[in-house]
Each structure stands twice: as C-alpha cells, then as structure tokens.
Amino acid sequence: MVQYGDYDRHDAEASPDLSSLYVGYALILFAVPTFGAAAAIGLLRMWRKTPPADPVARSHFIFQQRTLTAAVAAILAGVLLIVINVGVFVLFFMAIWTIVRGALGLKDLLQGRAVRHPHRLFY
C-alpha cells in the first residue's frame, strides 16, 4: 500500500532520466528486427541531448550513444559492402553485437549499476 511520503521530489526528478534510458535500450534492442530504423531513430533522439548529471545515468547515456552510433555505421557499411559479398557478414556481426550490448547495458541499468567503461566498443 502506498502511503504519504513514499515518494519525494528527488524520485520524481530522477524518473525522466530513467524512462529515457529505458527507451534508449528498447530502441537498441529493436534495431535488428526493424532493420536499423530503431537505431537511426534512437541516434536522432540522442543527437543533441545533453548527458544527465547523475553518474550512473550518464554512463548509460554515453553507452547508448556509442552503441547506436556504431550500429548505424555498421549498417551503412554493411549495405555498401554487399556489393563485394562481405556486407552480409558485417550485418550479421552487427546484429549479434547490438543485441548483446543492449542486453548487457539493460541488465546493468535494471540492477542500478553504472556501465564501467561506456566508451569501449566491446563490453
């Protein structure tokens, strides 16, 4: 049962950051089934947004930016490399990498932990 005082102003301010991070991970995980459209939407969504002040949320924000940027770049490279029969392998590797990276980042967010090295391409 919810009682008066269970929620304070600090929780209300932190929730927009968390919901934005959850949306970011959803877009990362939907990048493969939507053939990169979700990754492009996620990248456009984060393009000019400033990172949050909270260190945990900031690490996830940077992690998501790096993931989406690399995914979109790999999709574009894979589409161009299909001409020389290498693009399928690039797209397959990108799909696996994006799903694994998104799932590991989401797991850390659900546990309330920061991403240790958000600038790395491999977790």
**Cβ proximity of 58 and 18 under 8 Å:** no
- Tell me the per-residue pLDDT of 66-103, one tens digit each, with 9 for 90 and over: 999 999 999 999 999 999 999 999 999 999 999 999 99
Q: How far is CA 28 from the centre of its chain?
A: 5
> Could you tell me the two tokens for 103?
């799932």
**Look-up: residue for tokens 């949320």?**
57
Q: Is 80 left (phi over 0), alpha (psi -120 to 50) or beta?
A: alpha
Task: Tell me the pTM.
Answer: 0.83
- Tell me the per-residue pLDDT of 3-38, one tens digit each, with 9 for 90 and over: 555 444 444 455 567 899 999 999 999 999 998 899
